[in-house]
Amino acid sequence: MKHSKRISSNFPWSADEFVAHLRTVGTAYHDRHPFHVLMNQGKLNRRQLRGWVANRFYYQTQIPVKDAAILSNCLERELRRVWIQRIVDHDGTAAEIGGIEKWLRLGEAVGLPRKELLAQTHLLPGVRYAVDAYVTFCRDQPWIIAMASSLTELFAPALMAKRIAAFERYYPWVKEEGLRYFRGRLTQAPRDADFALRLVVERCRTSELQEQAVAALKFKCELLWAMLDAMHFAYVLNRK
């Protein structure tokens, strides 16, 4: 899809053009990474799948941390009231488990002891570096730009649906409880993405802010790709 070019650096995109540019970033989303392709084709062995679960867990633990960092820079109470739901979704409450606990149960479902996940026993340096870079980005950037980086959720539901189907078809040895996280994201991700997209379009009205928002989303896609690079190198190419 081709997008119209700006007449000058000071001429912002229309709302529709802006959204189109944001969505175009999804053509480089990590679902196209060779490691994910292997996963969705049922070609990962148990060691490789466990490696992915163990390393992705570190990312899951840092999602509420990066969202707390975003909120620390946002002075608008009404927005904080909405965005904080993301933290609750991952940390959980006394009444309902959150995404982190669901991922721990995914670990158990693939044969990873909970204590090994919590101790980061299998965490690769490249994955740690990429995730920490994302938290730092969200802490240092203006809150609206950091929020724009979360728009990978625009592309997540299709990936989650494909992942669930792949696990059910190719990895029947993974217990059903392990898929609970993915099923929850089928509804959470669209809700979060809709709010974030409306907010980013509303607040990023200058060409500079629009470009920063697109760059932030591109940065997020690249770090997700970098995480998979590290895992592919370690578990597929066996060069850990």
pLDDT tens digits, 41-96: 999 999 999 999 999 999 999 999 999 999 999 999 999 999 999 999 999 999 99
CATH code of residue 43: 1.20.910.10
Q: Give how many domains the chain has, as a whole number.
A: 1
Q: Is residue 218 a part of any domain in this protein?
A: yes
pLDDT (tens digit, 9 = 90+) per residue, 28-42? 899 999 999 999 999
Q: Is residue 11 a part of any domain in this protein?
A: no
- Specify the length of the chain in residues: 240
What is the model's pTM? 0.93
Q: Is residue 18 a part of any domain in this protein?
A: no
Q: Is residue 145 a part of any domain in this protein?
A: yes
Give the domain extent around 209: 32-236
How distant is the alpha carbon of residue 197 from its chain centre? Answer: 15
User: For residue 147, which of 190, 194, 196 has the smallest C-alpha distance?
Assistant: 196
Q: Which long-range contacts (CB under 8 A, 24 or more apart) does 78-84 make?
A: 79/199, 82/195, 83/147
Categorize the per-residue pLDDT at 239 as very low, low, confident or very high, splitting at 50, 70 and 90. confident
